[in-house]
Amino acid sequence: MAGRQGGEKKSKVHGLKSEEKDMAKDAKALVEQVKRQHGAMVQGMPKVMEHFLAMMQAAEKDGALSHKVKELVTLGISIAIRCDYCIAFHVANCLKSGATREEIMEVCGVAIAMGGGPSYTYTAMVLDAVEAFGKAKDE
């Protein structure tokens, strides 16, 4: 997946020159890339994917925390670990789960508090993903 260690590449940041924006990853393209390869991953490692998908379904179910809250938590973790794909995927899921832009931005603030400057720069990718996947409920 599109995770990064130590920020060897830079994500799209608002205010960049147009050619720099063109080089930045598009949130929808990241999600579509993984969706396109999903079948190959299941075929190539069926047991791993079976257990991984079952674990994800169990973790995402409503419990003491709602599915929406779990998606918001997952988004914060995605920012902190600097995973472009994870950010795009979980922004889309946060919006589908009814999260507002205000809730998403608050998660970004917590991620910045925990992850410092790198989390700040990845918040720009969150905003791009919110724009790519549609308007949040409070707009």
Query: What confidence tens digit (pLDDT) does each residue in 86-137 have?
Result: 999 999 999 999 999 999 999 999 999 998 988 998 898 899 899 888 865 6
Return the percentage of the chain with pLDDT > 70, whole number.
Answer: 78
pTM of the entire predicted model: 0.73
CB-based contacts of 74-81 (< 8 A; 24+ apart in sequence):
75/104, 75/107, 75/111, 75/126, 76/107, 76/108, 76/110, 76/111, 76/114, 79/107, 79/108, 79/111, 79/112, 79/115, 79/119, 79/122, 79/123, 79/126, 80/111, 80/114, 80/115, 80/119, 81/3
Domains of the chain, with CATH numbers? Answer: 25-133 (1.20.1290.10)
